[in-house]
Amino acid sequence: MNRFLAAASLLALCVISAPPLAADAAPPAANGAPETGMWDLRDLYPTPEAWSAAYTRVRGQAQALDQYKGTLGKSPHAMLKALSAISDVQKEATRLAVYASLKADEDVRTAVNQERQQSAQQLGTLMQEKTAWLRPEIIGIGQKRVLVFEAKSPELKRRFAFQLDNALRYAPHVLSLQSEGVIAAAGDVFAQPNSIYSQLANGELPRPEVTLSDGTKVKLDQAAYTKYRTAANRADRKKVFDTFWPSFSAFNGTFGQTLTTQVQEEVFDAKVRHFPNSLADATFADNMPEAVYRQLVAQANRSLPTLHRYLRLRKKALGITDDLRYYDVYVPIFDLPNPPKFSVADSEKIALDVDQIYGPEYLSLLKQGFAGTWMNVYPHPGKANGAYMNGSAYDVHPYLLFNNHDDYESLSTFVHEWGHAVHTLLTTKTQPYENAGYSTFIAETASIGNEMLLNDYMVAHAKNDAEKEYYLGQGLELIRGTFFRQTMFAEFQLQLHEVIEKGGTLSGEKMTGMYCDLLKKYYGDAQGAMKVDPAYCIEWAYIPHFYYGFYVYQYATSMAGAAQFADAIEHEGAPARDRFIAMLKAGGSDYPYTLYKKAGLDMASPAPYEALAARMNRIMDQIEAIEAKKGKSQ
Ligand SMILES: [Zn+2]
């Protein structure tokens, strides 16, 4: 999908990893109506046959789109006609893709579902082929003439001004037709590092077995590692680490070469497209200043004493008398013998309470969503993993997939994804289709913000100090995992690219050394906050996101933005809330950095990152106050 069209079709698809599926079956309903806890895809297409008929029709329309090639510069009317035609087909193709994708996720084992999804992907490729001329043609027309056209056609301006501006930005980075053809033809080759990585890390990597203290034998694949690294028994989690990481270390060289190739490819793209460096290339699509990325890294480094404070607190709470170790990071800092349970009805009620702060318009959309059949809630055999919101079907409504386990993590995921859903509803009621595709930066601020507000709410409503500490601990982990960990990844990625850009070389061994230095810095090895064992410094080889370009930093910046918004809404009330809602309503009508700015946040300044560090310190103040009270009463 080219970037000019990508925004609308990628409208906030957010995936959160979740534990594997439990095995309670959801039987199909006899009359085609959905079961309780099941979404109703008939709002998209009444039957699979109706989908097929629409597919044939839209495919024909897509085939005909190159009839508009060379017409855009003729007149404002001709430009509007061509862009509208493309947009209309794109909208319908996206709706087809949404249905195919959701249907496939109901049961990933069904061949007909897989084939439908393949068809939708082919339609996407066809759209790409049939509109590949579009951006070069707009660039050829030039900004001056485009602005004249917009002045003459209010409709053109209303629907397409942002997309036109976004296409024109690419002028210095688009190559000759011949060069673009060569790069496009090499696309499959460029996708190989990720494929090779995935083949090895998710497929062929030998999975060692470990015997836990209670005699349980576990084959340590990625899912088992995620589960057992949280073991309450310290010897068990050490054993899990000591067994899991050597399996990666054995392929240190291969992982290193694969990731080096990925980095080289990104450096190559930046060079041939006339970007000063690969970071500038990566942040260009969102028109995000490089300064935001660099400020994020600088500010996370400045806040490391806050992270170290958390690690010391963790050590004390876990009763560890020697050094805290990297395998002590995932065990819950405060656990409860019977952690609270939340049904979906509970989650809805809590979400409505938590989101009071956003005012009546937000709440009425949330209620509208809960009243609809938009959710696929419970795990069942064959269902896709994780959780997401898909709001790409502009004329319909968002759909949400969960694998609800009724625990706090599920509740947190619930408010996260509904944050995306309400964002989509606010956007679609305000923006034309063409401006509905919002960026991840804004999207994750809306959703992570909900998770932070939920955490505040649960702390405030806890029944006793033990429960309060349980939630405060969860709040701290959310910040460590989303802010510090992702920023450490971001810093690592930046370092890798800079090595290649300066003409240096990389290897698995070198990467492990670089990663070790970062782990020690972030986790305070020299400050005595944690002792980092070099055996675990192969962790970089476990992170698939390094093959998605500069990607992970968006979550960290979004969380910082959400922290500043939460403070502003708490202190200022309605004016700050209205700025936040206006930002959500703006959808994809402007660049995310500008939208933040209009809402009062400068993501290139220290303020958002300071707000997040302050929040983390406030959580720790609360824990220490409870601990001090405990100390006195003993
Ligand atoms: Zn999300």
CATH of the domain at 216: 1.10.287.830
Summarize pLDDT for 359-401 with one digit per residue, the tens: 999 999 999 999 999 999 999 888 998 899 999 999 999 999 9
The radius of gyration of the chain from alpha carbons, rounded to an integer in Å, stands at: 25
Distance (Å, whole) CA 288 – CA 269: 18
Look at residue 182 in the predicted model and tell me its pLDDT: 86
Query: Does residue 42 sit in the same domain as residue 179?
Result: yes
Inside any domain, residue 440: yes
Residue 6: predicted pLDDT: 34
pLDDT tens-place string over residues 450-481: 999 999 999 999 999 999 999 999 999 999 99
Highest mean pLDDT among 124-133, 214-223, 499-508: 499-508
* Domain-embedded: residue 509: no
Residue 401 lies in a domain: yes
Residue range 224-250: average pLDDT?
Answer: 95
Give strand pairing partners of 210. 218
3-state secondary structure 219-264: ECCHHHHHHHCCCCCHHHHHHHHHHHHHHHHCCHHHHHHHHHHHHH
pLDDT of residue 115 exceeding 60: yes
Same domain, 239 and 115: no
Q: What is the DSSP string of 16-63?
A: B--PPP-----PPPTTSPPPTT---GGGT-SSHHHHHHHHHHHHHHHH
Query: Is 126 part of any domain?
Result: yes
- Cα(567)–Cα(453) distance, rounded to whole angstroms? 10
| pLDDT of 353 higher than 50 | yes
Query: 51 and 177: one domain?
Result: yes
Task: Say if residue 202's pLDDT is above 90.
Answer: no
pLDDT value for 25: 35
Q: How far apart are CA 338 and CA 427, in angstroms?
A: 40
Q: What is the pLDDT of residue 177?
A: 79
**Strand partners for 390:** 399
Task: For residue 13, report the distance from its CA to the centre of ligand 1, in Å.
Answer: 8
Q: Last residue of some domain: 190, 222, 240?
A: 190
pLDDT (0 to 100) of residue 634: 57
Distance in Å, CA 440 to ligand 1 centroid: 8
CATH number at residue 440: 1.10.1370.40
Regarding predicted confidence, which is higher, 185 or 324? Answer: 324
Strands 217-219 and 399-401: unpaired
> Which residue from 495, 498, 500 is spatially nearest to 517, judged by alpha carbons?
495
State yes or no: pLDDT of 7 exceeds 60.
no
Do residue 186 and residue 216 come from a single domain?
Answer: no
Note if 451 is an active site residue: no
Domain assignment present for residue 197? The answer is no
Enter the DSSP assignment of 331: S
- What's the distance, Cα to Cα, between the start and end of the chain in Å? 64
Cα gap 251→241, rounded to integer Å: 16
Categorize the per-residue pLDDT at 191 as very low, low, confident or very high, splitting at 50, 70 and 90.
Answer: confident
Give 502's DSSP letter: T
User: Both 173 and 246 in a single domain?
Assistant: no
Ligand 1 centroid to residue 142 C-alpha, Å: 36
Do 354 and 450 touch, CB atoms closer than 8 A? Answer: yes
Report the CATH number at residue 158: 1.20.140.70
CB 255 within 8 A of CB 508: yes
Ligand 1 centre distance from Cα of residue 60 (Å) = 35
Q: Do 452 and 599 reside in the same domain of the chain? A: yes
Are 176 and 225 in the same domain?
Answer: no
- Mean pLDDT in residue range 74-81: 98
Q: Is-contact 387 18, C-beta < 8 A?
A: yes
Distance of alpha carbon 70 from alpha carbon 244, whole angstroms = 57
- Output the pLDDT for position 583: 97
pLDDT tens track for 311-321: 999 999 999 99
Averaged pLDDT score across all residues of the chain: 92
Q: Which of 417, 434, 451, 469 is catalytic?
A: 417
The DSSP H or E segment spanning 551 is none
Question: Do residues 341 and 547 touch, judged by C-beta distance below 8 A?
Answer: no
- Looking only at the bridges linking them, the beta strands covering 399-401 and 375-376 are parallel
Position 136 in a domain: yes
Q: In whole angstroms, give the CA distance from residue 367 to residue 383.
A: 26
Residue 415 Cα to ligand 1 midpoint, Å, equals 10
pLDDT at 570: 86
Q: Is the pLDDT confidence value at 13 over 70?
A: no
- For residue range 540-582, list pLDDT tens digits in order: 999 999 999 998 899 999 999 999 999 999 899 999 999 999 9
The reply to whether 306 falls in a domain is no
Averaged pLDDT for residues 594-601: 96
Average pLDDT over residues 261-265: 97
Other Cβ atoms closer than 10 A to 18 = 18
Residues 217, 182 share a domain: no
Token couple for 598: 């209009």
pLDDT tier for residue 26 given thresholds of 50, 70 and 90: very low
Question: What residues are neighbours of ligand 1 (ion), with CB under 5 Å?
Answer: 14, 447
* Residues spanned by the domain of 176: 35-190
Distance of CA 33 to the CA centre of its chain: 32
Measured in whole angstroms, the distance separating CA 616 from the mean position of its chain's CA atoms is 22
Q: Is residue 516 part of a domain?
A: no
Distance 552 CA to ligand 1 centre (A): 12
pLDDT surpassing 80 at residue 208: yes
165 in the same domain as 224: no
Global pTM?
0.91
Domain count, the chain: 3
For the segment 509-524, what is each residue's pLDDT rounded down to a tens digit?
A: 999 999 999 999 999 9
Which residues are 325's β-sheet partners?
531
Span 190-219, average pLDDT? 92
Examine the domain organization and report whether 181 and 221 are in the same domain.
no
Predicted local confidence at residue 33, as pLDDT: 59
Residue 30 has pLDDT above 50, yes or no: no
pLDDT at 31: 53
| Under 8 Å between Cβ of 12 and 420 | yes
User: Are 378 and 240 part of one and the same domain?
Assistant: no
DSSP bridge pairs for 54: none
Q: What angle do CA 299, 488, 277 make, to 5 degrees?
A: 85
3-state SS class at 585? helix
The tokens for 398 are 């968002």
Domain match, 370 and 226 both: no
Ligand 1 centroid – CA 427 distance (Å): 16
